Amino acid sequence: MATLTLVQWRAAQVPPRTLTSVARDLDVSHPLVSEWEKGTRKPGVELALRLEKLTGGAVPIESWGYTRDLVDLMRSAVERRDIDLAAHISSPVVDLVQAFERRATGS
């Protein structure tokens, strides 16, 4: 698949996609999408990944200056954070359930 700019991808769609429709799909403002297209701003990594998915890979994350290595590194960091959060969250929940069970059984 050829790499396209966001403007090219929008124009190639049948019917052509508007700034507003892309913005709505990404839950951002259409002026922000316009700024991406003009090059005055670029999407963050998460939005760049969502754009890649929205465009079926036609506008890859690399087109915004990010690398796959960065994405893999961030994904790994998020997974580690989620594991750490789960460990902190599940312990009090387990303690609460156990306390409730002890109370219910009178032990």
pLDDT of residue 92: 60
pLDDT of residue 14: 96
Amino acid of residue 36: W
Q: CA torsion sign, 20 to 23 to 29 to 35?
A: negative
Instruction: Tell me which residue has tokens 């994904």.
Output: 75
**56 close to 70: Cβ distance less than 8 angstroms:** no
pLDDT in tens, 6-60: 999 999 999 999 999 999 999 999 999 999 999 999 999 889 989 999 999 999 9
pLDDT of residue 97: 59
Instruction: Tell me which residue has tokens 């009178």.
Output: 106
How does residue 103 score in pLDDT terms, banded at 50, 70 and 90? low
**6 close to 33: Cβ distance less than 8 angstroms:** yes
Rounded Cα distance, 28 and 54, in Å:
14
- Of these ranges, 21-25, 63-67, 80-84, the one predicted with the greatest mean pLDDT is 21-25
Rounded Cα distance, 62 and 68, in Å:
7
pLDDT at 90 over 60: no
pLDDT of residue 1: 67
pLDDT of residue 8: 96
**53 close to 46: Cβ distance less than 8 angstroms:** no
